[in-house]
């Protein structure tokens, strides 16, 4: 056997080392993920694996990541809905299938005020009577509100786009219809505004966010079509917190008419502010987790968050497919019923919708209803406690027997990342392209950071959170079979998040004022798809009080 010299051994060793390095580099390049990175990632999800388990995962993890990258090549517009739909119905839930005649209040005694400025705070029913009896034309009413928008809108920072040409064209058309004897109903000729996440032909739909401030989605959202078919007149696209968070948008901070040094809360910031200031008789807002309740509270207006699956979201910006809901913000409870009657129901596009009757009567005997209240929450020490206590006492005076009730004992805060996960998916491209840096608010709780963080929510945890949500829906049904309506503090406790997760309807209305002179509110909660009873109970309370009849001083 031929002997190998020392130099040959060194040469062979060097060659083998190079080969080893090449192999390692090749494997590393192919794998791109190493066991040490898996170990670090384990800390993010609260699990612990051993070395062999980590090593076995690598091929799968690489395959998953390659799939993600492949999926990124597919264009996903915000309007594309996931194939997995949220179902808010508890097992055994039965729909009411009987449509009864709607019974609104009698507005026949309504007359034009001596001071035309008082029209700014007339209800929909009152304005409708003026139009129906030709005491005022839709064009004149439209011009009246357009002038108020031009006067007060800049100070309140509540308007993104005034749709003046469209409004005047629509108002002129409905006036001709009325002159010819065709009257469509209580919304015929009534001006309104919409949160600027609803698409509109020929006008921008900015979502309140810098990356989309020049976006045009050249189609009308279903809810806008429905309102215009009822004869309503679109005046403006109203401000919203950027991508439906807060009251800060790319052009400023929407102001609270009761105190313009403060924001109007969000994200339906402009809708609540504009109604409160008398710039529109009603507006459309949306809620995922408090975006109708919160601005309605601080602006002292009355809002309806309908049952999930009641109002079409076709043409609306998606934030959370399983939590987004669209509803009206108005002057009083019956106005909610008037608007809701025109916007609910299937549109043959949005697959989350249910075809269920809406039954409403303007008078209800509280003695014949089971009305609950969240005793532990109301017993707490919180900002609105005094006024909430007065509200409960007023309901007792009206004949209601209040039943103590409690929400399911489930940690709903631990389910809140469902929203974050869906929002992260809705604006995935914004994160991947770094355009999220263009958003005005770059704070820890702001969307840019939430979207980035949501990339680290495991799919397993998202699915299991929704399984717990199913238990929550079941337990909530056990409460709702015992009451027709229940009351909850607007911001105290778990009610706001919990009922947005279960999809239950809510009416938020003003119930007094704070020591600083700003409005307070309380929530009336209803059964799934029973907005009629819910609104009627809220109206009974408002008929016995005058909080909703007070308006901010706009002499700024």
Residue 305 forms beta bridges with which residues? Answer: 506
Report how far residue 148's alpha carbon sits from residue 164's, in angstroms, rounded to the nearest whole number: 13
DSSP string, 366-403: GGGS-EEEEHHHHTS--TTHHHHHHHHHHHHHTT--EE
Q: What is the mean pLDDT of residues 468-489?
A: 98
Report how far residue 442's alpha carbon sits from residue 252's, in angstroms, rounded to the nearest whole number: 15
Provide the residue count of the chain: 556
Q: What is the mean pLDDT of residues 517-522?
A: 98
Residue 159: strand, helix, or coil? strand
Report how far residue 504's alpha carbon sits from residue 498's, in angstroms, rounded to the nearest whole number: 9
Tokens of residue 536, six digits: 């009627």
Q: What is the mean pLDDT of residues 135-159?
A: 98
List the Cα angle 432/437/442 in 5-degree steps.
Answer: 120
pLDDT at 556: 84
Lowest-confidence segment of 3-7, 193-197, 336-340, 494-498 by average pLDDT:
3-7
Q: Does the pLDDT value for residue 26 go beyond 90?
A: no
pLDDT at 30: 47
Whether 182 and 172 have beta carbons less than 8 Å apart is answered as no
pLDDT at 25: 40
pLDDT single digits (tens) 194-232: 999 999 999 999 999 999 999 999 999 999 999 999 999
The H-or-E segment that residue 511 falls in is strand 506-513
The H-or-E segment that residue 538 falls in is helix 531-543
Q: What is the mean pLDDT of residues 507-513?
A: 98
| pTM of the full structure | 0.93
Closest CA to 322 of 335, 301, 308, 303: 308
Q: What percent of the chain has pLDDT over 70?
A: 94
Tokens of residue 286, six digits: 């949306």
Report how far residue 365's alpha carbon sits from residue 374's, in angstroms, rounded to the nearest whole number: 21
Closest CA to 336 of 461, 186, 231: 186
536: left (phi over 0), alpha (psi -120 to 50) or beta: alpha
pLDDT single digits (tens) 90-116: 999 999 999 999 999 999 999 999 999
pLDDT at 9: 44
Q: What is the mean pLDDT of residues 270-279?
A: 98
Q: Which domains does the chain have, with CATH numbers?
A: 20-72 (no CATH), 116-412+445-549 (3.90.1300.10)
pLDDT at 339: 99
What burial class does residue 102 get, using C-beta atoms within 10 Å of its C-beta: 0-12 exposed, 13-18 middle, 19+ buried? middle
Closest CA to 334 of 168, 520, 535: 535
**C-alpha distance from residue 556 to each of 44, 249, 349, 464 (Å):** 51, 22, 45, 52
pLDDT at 32: 82
pLDDT at 20: 45
Residue 526 forms beta bridges with which residues? Answer: 485
pLDDT at 443: 94
pLDDT single digits (tens) 275-333: 999 999 999 999 999 999 999 999 999 999 999 999 999 999 999 999 999 999 999 99
**Sorting pLDDT into bands at 50, 70 and 90, what band is 31?**
low
Q: What is the mean pLDDT of residues 457-485?
A: 98
Q: Does the pLDDT value for residue 255 go beyond 70?
A: yes
Residue 195 forms beta bridges with which residues? Answer: 238
**Sorting pLDDT into bands at 50, 70 and 90, what band is 5?**
low
pLDDT at 3: 54
């Amino acid at each position: 056997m031929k002997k190998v010299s020392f130099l040959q051994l060194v040469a062979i060793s060097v060659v083998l080392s190079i080969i080893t390095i090449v192999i390692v580099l090749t494997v590393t390049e192919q794998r791109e993920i190493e066991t040490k990175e898996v170990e670090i990632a384990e800390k993010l999800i609260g699990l612990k694996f051993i070395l062999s388990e980590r090593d076995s995962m690598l091929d799968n993890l690489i395959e998953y990541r390659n799939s993600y990258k492949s999926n990124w090549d597919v264009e996903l517009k915000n309007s594309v809905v996931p194939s997995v739909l949220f179902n808010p119905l508890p097992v055994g839930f039965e729909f009411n299938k009987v449509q009864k005649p709607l019974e609104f209040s009698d507005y026949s005694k309504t007359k034009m005020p001596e001071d035309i400025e008082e029209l700014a705070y007339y209800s929909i029913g009152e304005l409708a009577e003026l139009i129906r009896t030709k005491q005022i034309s839709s064009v004149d009413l439209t011009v009246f509100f357009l002038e108020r928008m031009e006067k007060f809108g800049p100070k309140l920072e509540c308007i993104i786009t005034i749709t003046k040409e469209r409004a005047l064209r629509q108002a002129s058309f409905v006036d001709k219809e009325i002159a010819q004897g065709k009257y469509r109903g209580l919304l015929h000729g009534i001006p309104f505004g919409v949160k600027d996440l609803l698409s509109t032909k020929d006008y921008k739909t900015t979502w309140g966010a810098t990356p989309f401030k020049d976006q045009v989605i050249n189609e009308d959202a279903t809810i806008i079509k429905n309102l215009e078919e009822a004869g309503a007149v679109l005046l403006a696209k109203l401000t919203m917190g950027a991508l439906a968070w807060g009251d800060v948008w790319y052009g400023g901070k929407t102001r609270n008419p009761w105190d313009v040094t403060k924001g109007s809360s969000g994200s339906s910031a402009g809708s609540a502010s504009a109604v409160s200031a008398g710039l529109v008789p009603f507006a459309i807002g949306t809620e995922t987790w408090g975006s109708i309740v919160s601005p309605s509270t601080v602006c002292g207006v009355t809002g309806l968050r309908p049952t999930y699956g009641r109002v079409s979201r076709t043409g609306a910006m998606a934030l959370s497919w399983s939590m987004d809901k669209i509803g009206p913000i108005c002057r009083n409870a019956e106005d909610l019923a008037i608007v809701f009657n025109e916007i609910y129901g299937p549109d043959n596009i949005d697959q989350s919708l249910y075809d269920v009757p809406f039954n409403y009567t303007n008078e209800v005997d509280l003695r014949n209803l089971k009305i609950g209240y969240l005793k532990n929450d109301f017993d707490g020490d919180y900002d609105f406690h005094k006024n909430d206590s007065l509200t409960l006492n007023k309901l007792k005076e009206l004949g209601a027997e209040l039943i103590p009730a409690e929400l399911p004992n489930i940690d709903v805060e631990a389910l809140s990342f469902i929203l974050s996960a869906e929002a992260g998916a809705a604006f995935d491209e914004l994160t991947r392209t770094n355009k999220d840096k263009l958003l005005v608010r770059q704070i820890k709780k702001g969307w840019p950071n939430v979207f980035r963080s949501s990339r680290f929510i495991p799919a397993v945890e998202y699915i299991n959170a929704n399984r717990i949500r199913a238990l929550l829906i079941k337990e909530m049904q056990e409460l709702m079979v015992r009451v027709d309506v229940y009351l909850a503090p607007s911001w105290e406790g778990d009610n706001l998040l919990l009922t947005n997760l279960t999809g239950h309807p809510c009416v938020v209305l003003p119930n007094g004022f704070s020591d600083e002179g700003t409005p307070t509110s309380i929530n009336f909660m209803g059964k799934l798809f029973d907005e009629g009873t819910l609104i009627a109970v809220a109206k009974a309370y408002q008929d016995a009080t005058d909080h909703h009849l007070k308006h901010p001083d706009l002499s700024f």
